[in-house]
């Protein structure tokens, strides 16, 4: 997504999609999504950054991080504070409905991100910037159980940075419940679920830091839900859910200083905006 200078600081923070462009971190453009390793060692730098983030998260008193296996989410390591039982339940309900989105083929994808089922017709919501980065390549959706399906692009809305995909009924993807409009509150616990750095089924915890935050999403300025749940490359398009397992937003952007990656400030498109845009896209797609 387009970046936004801000807050009177000439060096940042910048508001960008978490899929950073390794070749143009100083440019105000649409950053790229996760790429395969290249001459510059981009994947290695991402993995190193991920390790730092993981250690920082695990040492915090208020946030936890899990990586879900095939049998459901489990603790990656002991955290300094017990994880509320409702968050564990919410993670267990959410992970089965979250997928990895690969653009450019099932292997060697040129762009990747996350998505989730928004209805029982196998429609999947994701970020448009993931598809834009992948160009005209085929879109593959990987299920939580490892199965892969070629996805139909139902429609795209670049201005809102949202897109809708559809997979065959045989995918059997479970739709996630959506939070009621205006029900999200500052301070409530939330989980960000997705495939950061290609690690599918990853769950990170935080709180809602602010509502109605003005950031640039797609080609225009929109209001967003701000969170301190860790969001990294590959998280884009995945859900931000509350302790009841209801989706409150689509993880889309992070704040960064000098393009150096996540600093613990993330942004999600509010679910009421997501639902309205998705309904419009699905209606157009017939």
Catalytic residue among 114, 160, 236, 262: 236
End-to-end CA distance of the chain: give it in Å, rounded. Answer: 27
- Distance between CA 36 and CA 201 in Å, rounded? 20
- Distance between CA 262 and CA 232 in Å, rounded? 6
* Coil/strand/helix, residue 207: strand
Hunting for tokens 């884009």 — which residue is that?
Answer: 236
Catalytic residue among 21, 128, 161, 228: 161
Catalytic residue among 129, 195, 200, 262: 129
129 is catalytic: yes
Hunting for tokens 């390549």 — which residue is that?
Answer: 137
- Distance between CA 222 and CA 211 in Å, rounded? 11
For residue 188, give both structure tokens: 């409530």
Cα dihedral 46, 68, 205, 219 sign: positive
Q: Comparing C-alpha atoms, which of 49, 52, 53, 46 is closest to residue 22?
A: 46
List, in order, residues 6 or more apart from 192 with CB less than 8 Å away: 203, 204, 206, 227, 229, 230, 231, 235, 238, 239, 240, 251, 266, 268
Number of other residues whose CB lies within 10 A of the CB of residue 133: 25
The residues annotated with a catalytic role in the active site are 129, 161, 236
């Amino acid at each position: 997504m387009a970046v936004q200078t801000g807050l009177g600081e000439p060096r940042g923070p910048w508001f960008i999609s978490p899929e950073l462009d390794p070749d143009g971190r100083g440019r105000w453009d649409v950053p790229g999504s996760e790429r395969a390793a290249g001459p510059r060692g981009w994947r290695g730098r991402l993995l190193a950054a991920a390790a730092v983030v993981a250690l920082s998260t695990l040492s915090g008193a208020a946030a936890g991080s899990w990586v879900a296996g095939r049998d459901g989410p489990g603790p990656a390591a002991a955290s300094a504070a017990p994880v509320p039982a409702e968050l564990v339940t919410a993670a267990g309900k959410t992970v089965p409905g979250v997928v990895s989105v690969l653009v450019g083929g099932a292997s060697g994808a040129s762009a990747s991100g996350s998505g989730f089922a928004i209805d029982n017709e196998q429609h999947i919501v994701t970020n448009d910037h993931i598809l834009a980065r992948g160009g005209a390549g085929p879109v593959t959706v990987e299920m939580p159980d490892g199965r892969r399906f070629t996805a139909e692009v139902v429609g795209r809305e670049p201005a809102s940075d949202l897109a809708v995909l559809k997979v065959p009924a045989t995918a059997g993807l479970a739709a996630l419940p959506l939070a009621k409009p205006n029900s999200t509150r500052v301070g409530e616990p939330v989980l960000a679920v997705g495939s950061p750095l290609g690690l599918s089924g990853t769950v990170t915890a935080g709180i809602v830091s602010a509502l109605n935050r003005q950031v640039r999403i797609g080609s225009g300025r929109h209001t967003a839900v701000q969170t301190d749940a860790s969001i990294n490359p590959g998280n884009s398009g995945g859900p931000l859910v509350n302790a009841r397992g209801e989706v409150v937003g689509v993880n889309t952007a992070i704040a960064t200083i000098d393009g150096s990656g996540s600093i613990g400030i993330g942004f999600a498109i509010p679910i009421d905006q997501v639902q309205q845009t998705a309904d419009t896209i699905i209606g157009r797609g017939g």
